[in-house]
């Protein structure tokens, strides 16, 4: 175990997998000479050389498309998109190609690749650089969508993603890179894709979340604990395939559910979780499910306005009060 940042954990996962498998390589904007715009691949160019750490032009379509092609031909590309907002420029490759080729050609084509990208708001980058459109990508069968909320999960999930035979869309949160936590040194430390995780046990209310909002939810749970409310916090970790069983089991115990996501409420993670819990644990619910999500506006630059739009610890606490019918 080592107490390291999320950035170091992700970097470690990449480095270990590149040493393990000669087919693994990195391509993307500023991954080489610059060392990664979030400094995840700093030093990689010297360590692995230009063949395996490839700076690309600013051309998201061909970054993702060429990664798909390399994967078809048997390599294990890790393509980096500088932010999730730029993934929209590669949307056709992600949705119409990576997610479809295996099925459409009846299993003849495989795309074992990872698209690493950075999502989330809160850094005063304004409307086009601050989005959390994670559910957009989770909509499509054929993709696996992963969004870790702790350094240990980031490492274990990224290693699993690189070893996976399917295309994995891996979303890191821009404000979590400095988050520290205990991370196993073991090179075979893997976290399975598609398994939710109970991050905090509690009996009074279930809070479901992931990525940055996991941390927000855990802080809310600490605050609630001081008032005698014990929240169970579940980290989805993977948005597709969605592992809802731990949520159902938790709701059967707590009878109350709050879902917290950074993206917009409409058609969001909260809507999906609420629907699935209705289908499987309707009789256990003692209060309507509450969703905590971003206000439905493009994010503004101004810091105060931006923070108003993003879900805060107090919003989670208030939602918990609501499902407990507390004033």
Catalytic residues: 60, 129
Q: Which is nearer to another protein, 224 or 269 (CB)?
A: 269
Minimum distance of another protein from residue 219's CB (angstroms): 28
Binding residues for another protein, rule: CB under 8 A, are 25, 51, 54, 56-57, 59, 61-62, 64-75, 77, 92-93, 96-97, 101-110, 112, 141-142, 144, 164-166, 192-194, 241-246
Query: Is the link from the previous residue into 228 a cis peptide, with omega within 30 of 0?
Result: no
Residue appearing with tokens 């379509």:
61
Going by C-alpha positions, the residue among 89, 116, 146, 119 that lies closest to residue 14 is 116
Minimum distance of another protein from residue 217's CB (angstroms): 21
> What distance lies between CA 114 and its chain's CA centroid?
13
Q: Which is nearer to another protein, 242 or 271 (CB)?
A: 242
Going by C-alpha positions, the residue among 153, 148, 264 that lies closest to residue 211 is 148
Give the number of C-alpha atoms closer than 13 A to the C-alpha of residue 175, restricted to the C-beta side.
17
Minimum distance of another protein from residue 195's CB (angstroms): 8
CA distances from 7 to 32, 72, 105, 180, 215 (A): 16, 29, 37, 9, 16
Minimum distance of another protein from residue 46's CB (angstroms): 19
Q: Which is nearer to another protein, 27 or 229 (CB)?
A: 27
Q: Which is nearer to another protein, 110 or 265 (CB)?
A: 110
Query: What are the residues facing 80 on neighbouring strands?
Result: 28, 116
Q: Which is nearer to another protein, 259 or 313 (CB)?
A: 259
Minimum distance of another protein from residue 45's CB (angstroms): 16
171 three-class SS: strand
Residue 299 carries which DSSP code?
A: P
How many angstroms separate the CA atoms of 193 and 241, rounded?
8
């Amino acid at each position: 175990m080592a107490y390291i940042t999320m950035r170091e954990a992700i970097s470690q996962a990449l480095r270990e997998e590149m040493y393990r498998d000669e087919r693994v390589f990195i391509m993307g904007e500023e991954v080489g000479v610059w060392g990664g715009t979030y400094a995840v691949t700093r030093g990689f160019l010297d360590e692995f050389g230009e063949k395996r750490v490839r700076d690309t032009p600013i051309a998201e379509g061909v970054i993702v498309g060429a990664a798909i092609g390399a994967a078809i031909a048997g390599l294990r590309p890790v393509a980096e998109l500088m932010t999730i907002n730029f993934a929209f420029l590669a949307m056709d490759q992600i949705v119409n190609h990576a997610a479809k080729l295996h099925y459409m050609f009846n299993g003849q084509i495989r795309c074992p690749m990872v698209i690493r990208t950075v999502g989330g708001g809160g850094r005063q980058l304004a409307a086009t650089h601050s989005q959390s459109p994670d559910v957009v990508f989770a909509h499509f069968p054929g993709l696996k969508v992963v969004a870790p909320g702790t350094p240990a999960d980031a490492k274990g999930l990224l290693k699993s993603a690189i070893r996976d035979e399917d295309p994995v869309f891996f979303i890191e949160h821009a404000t979590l890179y400095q988050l520290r936590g205990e991370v196993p040194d073991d090179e075979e430390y893997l976290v399975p894709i598609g398994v939710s995780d109970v991050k905090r046990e509690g009996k009074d209310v279930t809070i479901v979340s992931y990525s940055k909002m996991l941390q927000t939810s855990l802080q809310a749970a600490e605050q609630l604990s001081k008032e005698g409310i014990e929240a169970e916090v579940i980290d989805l970790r993977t948005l597709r395939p969605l592992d809802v069983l731990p949520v159902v089991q938790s709701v059967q115990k707590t009878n109350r559910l709050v879902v917290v996501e950074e993206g917009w409420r409409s058609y969001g993670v909260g809507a999906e979780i609420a629907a699935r819990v209705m289908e499987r644990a309707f009789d256990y619910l003692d209060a309507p499910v509450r969703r905590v999500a971003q206000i439905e506006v493009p994010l503004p630059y101004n810091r105060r306005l931006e923070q108003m739009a993003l879900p805060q610890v107090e919003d989670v606490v208030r939602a918990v009060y609501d499902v407990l019918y507390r004033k």
